[in-house]
Amino acid sequence: MMKVSGLVVCAVLLAAIPCMATPMILPPVTYNEATCSYAAAINTQAYALMGTISGVLPLIDPDLVLPPLGEIDLDGDDVPDQYQMALLGAALCAVPDLVVQLDANKAKYTGLLTDLDAVVAILLGSGTTPAAATRLTAVADILDVPAYNTDPSVAAVIDGLRSAATTLSGLTAQIPSAITPALVHQLLGQLGTFQTAVAALIGLSSDMQTQVTDLLTGDLMTQITDIRGQVVDIIAAVPDLIALPGLTTPQITTITSLAADAQIIVDVLDRTIAITVPGALKVYGVSAKLAGDPFSGTGDYDADGNTNLVTYNATKATIEGFVAAASGANLFWPGNTNMPVAGVLGLMALAGACALGGATSIRRKK
């Protein structure tokens, strides 16, 4: 006999089934650029980004050649990042929480570009402003006269300025001459137009996040961070320096404008370091509450027991086929070791029993 309490149990069971199948609400999705703007934007921007990078690479090293987009696997999970981005793009059109994560990564990325633009302009110089090393030397020269340099604290600042100028000159000397400040500015502006694709890429997996963090804390950044301490000391000394008797107004302006730009660099360094703190960049589908890495090769988007890598290897002929198989929109993909036929039949039986029970109890009530 099916009673109302039985109907409630049925309703709870049916409602709970998707939750039992997967701890995350990542629904089956299909890949269609015509109906999903995120899928279209990510794909279009990814190709445009490749074109831009291909154009710049020869300026850095003529031997550097970019592999085709379909072969790039930056997170090293054996699934081409293009397939992971296709799955993410399709899912973005169905899961608002993923869009929140994407927007957070977009903001971090565009902020980083803006910061880089400001730092490059200061380090390499722009327009009428000379390169930072030249400005550091200019301030050292203002102070390095008998009236001031006999004061031990001023002498220490002069040493700091000359040392920072030498380090910076060494850094900028590593930059190929073809990479001009104007070109960097133009390039950063262009990279800003690919924000959806880049934001998608940097959050594909925990391994990808590690790659981005390594890039941001790499050699160049380590060298710049080393200068941070010296720069902070110079900024701290500025109030005493500009109070020195006999300085001209232009000399004071030279000192204060250098200190202002030094502060910008310190702020950018601090913001960049903040991006490398775990959790600052979002890994898609991963939250503080829910563990997992659903868009990586080792991940299992639809929690059917087949990793995305297993599904990729069986369905890689087309991106559409992979997205449907990996997300659970196509349960009958070749090689599915976990065909949930029994599960589907059980679900139908349960739904049937509930409908029958409901009908029975409705009749009984009459």
Give the interface with Ca ion as residue ranges (CB under 5 A).
73, 75, 77, 79, 81, 300, 302, 304, 306
Backbone conformation region of residue 285, classed left if phi is above 0, alpha if psi is from -120 to 50, else beta: left
- Looking at residue 217, its amino acid is T
Q: Which is nearer to Ca ion, 33 or 302 (CB)?
A: 302
Minimum distance from CB of 346 to Ca ion (Å)?
A: 20
Instruction: Compute the residue count for the chain.
Output: 366
Beta bridge partners of residue 126, listed in sequence order: 129
Minimum distance from CB of 81 to Ca ion (Å)?
A: 4
Minimum distance from CB of 71 to Ca ion (Å)?
A: 10
Minimum distance from CB of 95 to Ca ion (Å)?
A: 16
Minimum distance from CB of 207 to Ca ion (Å)?
A: 8
Q: Which is nearer to Ca ion, 30 or 256 (CB)?
A: 30
Burial of residue 101 (CB within 10 Å: 0-12, 13-18, 19+) is buried
CB 176 within 8 A of CB 60: yes
CB 244 within 8 A of CB 148: yes
Q: How many other CB atoms sit within 10 Å of the CB of residue 335? A: 12
- Looking at residue 133, its amino acid is A
Minimum distance from CB of 36 to Ca ion (Å)?
A: 20
CB 102 within 8 A of CB 92: yes
Buried-state track 7-46, b at ≥16 Cβ within 10 A, e below 16: beebeeeeeeeeeeebebebbbbbbebeebebbbbbbebb
Minimum distance from CB of 328 to Ca ion (Å)?
A: 7
Q: Which is nearer to Ca ion, 115 or 304 (CB)?
A: 304
Q: Which is nearer to Ca ion, 67 or 170 (CB)?
A: 67
Q: Which is nearer to Ca ion, 272 or 311 (CB)?
A: 311
**DSSP structural state of residue 3:** -
Q: Which is nearer to Ca ion, 33 or 75 (CB)?
A: 75
Q: Which is nearer to Ca ion, 148 or 322 (CB)?
A: 322
Hey, what are 134's tokens? 């030249």
Q: Which is nearer to Ca ion, 67 or 189 (CB)?
A: 67
Minimum distance from CB of 48 to Ca ion (Å)?
A: 20
Beta-carbon contacts of residue 283 (< 8 Å; ≥ 6 apart): 203, 204, 205, 206, 208, 209, 293
